Chains A and B, each alone.
Chain A
Amino acid sequence: SYELTQPPSVSVSPGQTATITCSGEKLGDKYVSWYQQRPGHSPLMVIFQDEQRPSGIPERFSGSNSGSTATLTISGARTLDEAAYFCLAWDNDTAVFGRGTKLTVL
């Protein structure tokens, strides 16, 4: 079955750039979306179709996808960005989530 690999954790200081990766076979050929989940909350879509930002999501969130790796970048990370981030892609009509990356901003 298809797998998406994310680092378990990423840590940055406030104002720094946080980079979270998601790797999978030929992932660049698929659309990737990203979800933020703060503790005790439902997931929130922050990026769709690799690089598109939904209305209301701050410009500091951006995405890219090429080859076998998709990347979520948070420029000028803020403490309120501290959360788990999950990537999502489809393979053979099945949705697959990455295991998630815990972002710490402190």
Chain B
Amino acid sequence: QVQLVQSGSELKKPGASVKISCQASGYSFTYFSMHWVRQAPGQGLEWMGWINTNTGIPTYAQAFTGRFVFSLDTSVKTAYLQINNLKTEDTAVYYCARESTTGTTAADPWGQGTLVTVSS
């Protein structure tokens, strides 16, 4: 079945970088774009942007330009989110979610989430 499996929790210091992976299975990886979504502790969902898995072209939401980088390794059906110069306010669960087969306006399924904790 279609599945997105994300890498494990990370504990980082301010100023460091982190790279989260999202490995897809059960479908043709390059057929559907991949969204990235952030959820700060006790807060709602925030769309970070998405990456076209066919062209590799990323699109970033306005609040996520500069320190955030989406990338791919299509040979292993994996999408990556790298966050540079981490700040304490980046502490959150990060989700990857596939563009839905029902159209680009929905996201389904979602990965299990990766908790990134930024603390000195």
- A interface residues (Cβ-Cβ under 8 A, vs B): 1, 30-31, 33, 35, 37, 42-45, 48-49, 52, 54, 84, 86, 88-90, 93-100
Q: Is A99's CB under 8 angstroms from B44's CB?
A: yes
Interface of A (DSSP majority class): strand
User: What are 5 A-to-B residue pairs whose CB atoms are below 8 Å?
Assistant: A33-B107, A43-B110, A54-B102, A95-B35, A97-B47
User: Which bracket fits the contact residues of B?
Assistant: 20 to 34
Interface of B (DSSP majority class): strand
User: Which residue of A52, A93, A96, A98 is within 8 Å of B102 (Cβ)?
Assistant: A52
User: Which residue of A42, A93, A97 is within 8 Å of B44 (Cβ)?
Assistant: A97
Residues 33-89 of B at the A interface (beta carbon under 8 Å): 35, 37, 44-47, 50, 59, 61-62
Please give, as numbers and ranges, the residues of chain A lying within 8 Å of B61 by CB-CB distance. Answer: 94-95
B7 at the interface (CB under 8 A from A): no
Within the complex, the shortest CB–CB distance from B106 to chain A, in Å, comes to 4
Q: Is A45's CB under 8 angstroms from B45's CB?
A: no
Expressed in whole angstroms, the Cα–Cα distance for A80 and B80 within the complex equals 33
The chain B residue with its CB closest to the CB of A34 is B106
The chain B residue with its CB closest to the CB of A89 is B105
Please give, as numbers and ranges, the residues of chain B lying within 8 Å of A86 by CB-CB distance. Answer: 44-45
Please give, as numbers and ranges, the residues of chain B lying within 8 Å of A45 by CB-CB distance. Answer: 100, 106-109
Please give, as numbers and ranges, the residues of chain B lying within 8 Å of A84 by CB-CB distance. Answer: 44
Q: Is A94's CB under 8 angstroms from B108's CB?
A: no
The 6 A-B residue pairs with the shortest CB-CB distance in the complex, in nearest-first order:
A33-B106, A95-B47, A45-B108, A48-B106, A42-B110, A31-B105
